[in-house]
Chain A
């Protein structure tokens, strides 16, 4: 049965428990970071951070508003990254039929920098990263081992505010719609980010642009496999690969 996250940013306090729990569970090394004028650190997702709380502040209608966005892979129902990767190397990116988890496998090691770049560009949420030392691609795994052993993902387990939720897709969609109706009473611009296309459904209180440039997908809907191939993999690149 497909699983989904529901991330209720209206409850997020940016405690960053999820960001750290993800690192702890996945045994990811700490990056040597610098302060660059924001609490958001590390500045972006990277091979050692599958989860990152983004901080954005704005003055809206004369009031200070502070937006928190716990960013991560959306585990798209039709993942563009997988469509592109399949055309390069079958098995580099897989999708678990049962849970819907989109997974980068050890096979990604064989992908070149350019291959990685085209996969990254295919992602409407700008999620894929690459570990330059190992060549492996990296992102949220939906805590695949945990969930197949009956455990909640680490980020959900640790969340103290009810922002991070995980469960059957149907149940998460129901919860998301219930919360949306609630939040809309105070924030009429509230919305769910691409709920029909992804397994990680964000509830946003205000215009997505306040949260993050890639909070929602710009494309109307993910293209189907064929359209993607046509669009993203140039005829020459494809030909070169087939010949080699």
Chain B
């Protein structure tokens, strides 16, 4: 695997910094900043502090299958992941409830159902990872919960647990050629892309290269390389179908879109960016571009809490 493009660590401090400057640079986005700051900070703290996820009997899929595009979590889940999910829910759901007061009660019910086992953690995780909306709704209803609230909150609760797991599993990815639009660890869709900095190879004459495209997983925040002229959603490689646009004067922020599947992905060009936000929350700085892309009729590659603008 290539070195990740964005090496700004995701810590409570770096996340706070992003929100602080977001307030300053893009005051119009205040509602979004207010809604997600505490949750994002807590997620970052949890990802740092969570104990090792117990892998149990878990083993990765065979390497040939992985080369064919099967993610590490496609077949089995580590035994300890549901427990980690509950740990996260205990801390995160109250924070989320404070930011989203109207559903505070339902969030509490969600946490309770998880803790009491009325809602099967493993099944919930599987449904999220498989992007199985109906399955997720079924699980929620069976536990007497609001499907909408579960669909909203479950990925957010899962994120720190997966981020913790992903950093443990990263060594397993060494040397593998991936080339897919979905995450090699959890199979998630990308939240945002980075165009890498120029090579820091100490060459005394030319600092070459750069511009390699990396995608950031919307679920576990892993970063992986994908050839630039490739749509991460439908893997279309026809240059005529792929395009991008930027807001004039901001040459480091862009939307890559695909005419074949009408999807889009916000991106940050590190060759021009001064102080990149940590990968896990970088997308929140580009919400103004989400708006433009959706106005033009494109759909986000991954649905995120802050890009459901309709």
Contact = CB atoms under 8 A, between A and B. Distances in A.
User: In the complex they form, do A and B come into direct contact, defined as C-beta atoms under 8 angstroms apart?
Assistant: yes
Interface of A: 10-11, 13, 145-152, 157, 159-162, 166-167
B205 A151 contact: no
Contacts of B250: 149, 151
A159 B205 CA distance: 11
Contacts of B206: 160-161
A156 to B, nearest CB: 9
Interface in B263-310: 271-275, 285
B25 A152 contact: no
A10 B205 CA distance: 9
28 contacts: A10-B204, A11-B205, A13-B205, A145-B249, A146-B274, A148-B25, A149-B25, A149-B250, A150-B25, A150-B253, A150-B274, A150-B285, A151-B250, A151-B251, A151-B252, A151-B273, A152-B271, A152-B272, A152-B273, A157-B251, A160-B207, A160-B208, A161-B205, A161-B206, A162-B198, A162-B203, A162-B207, A167-B274
B249 A149 contact: yes
| Among A145, A146, A148, A152: residue with most chain B CB under 10 A | A152
A149 B273 CA distance: 9
Contacts of A10: 204
Contacts of A11: 204-205
| Among A13, A146, A149, A157: residue with most chain B CB under 10 A | A149
B75 to A, nearest CB: 41
A150 B206 CA distance: 25
Contacts of A161: 205-207
A148 B249 CA distance: 12
A149 B288 CA distance: 14
Contact of A151 (B21, B198, B203, B274): B274
Interface in B40-79: none
A3 B106 CA distance: 46
Interface of B: 21, 25, 198, 203-208, 249-253, 271-275, 285
Given A145-B249, A150-B25, A151-B252, A166 B274 contact: yes
Nearest to B252: A151
Nearest to B285: A150
Given A11-B204, A149-B250, A161-B207, 6 more contacts: A11-B205, A146-B274, A150-B273, A151-B252, A157-B251, A161-B206
Contacts of B274: 146-147, 150-152, 166-167
Contacts of B198: 160, 162
Contacts of B253: 150
Nearest first, the 4 A-B pairs at minimum CB distance are: A162-B207, A157-B272, A151-B252, A152-B274
Contacts of A148: 25
| Among B203, B206, B253: residue with most chain A CB under 10 A | B206
Contacts of A166: 274
Nearest to B268: A150
A52 B271 CA distance: 22
Contacts of B275: 150, 167
Contacts of A150: 21, 25, 252-253, 273-275, 285
B208 A151 contact: no
B222 to A, nearest CB: 24
B1 to A, nearest CB: 25
B202 to A, nearest CB: 9
B6 to A, nearest CB: 13
Nearest to A15: B206
B286 to A, nearest CB: 11
A163 to B, nearest CB: 9
A13 B190 CA distance: 39
A13 B253 CA distance: 29
Contacts of B273: 150-152
A131 B286 CA distance: 38
A151 B207 contact: no
A161 B285 CA distance: 30
A72 B99 CA distance: 48
Contacts of B249: 145, 149
Nearest to B200: A162
B20 to A, nearest CB: 12
| Among B21, B198, B274: residue with most chain A CB under 10 A | B274
B211 to A, nearest CB: 12
B284 to A, nearest CB: 13
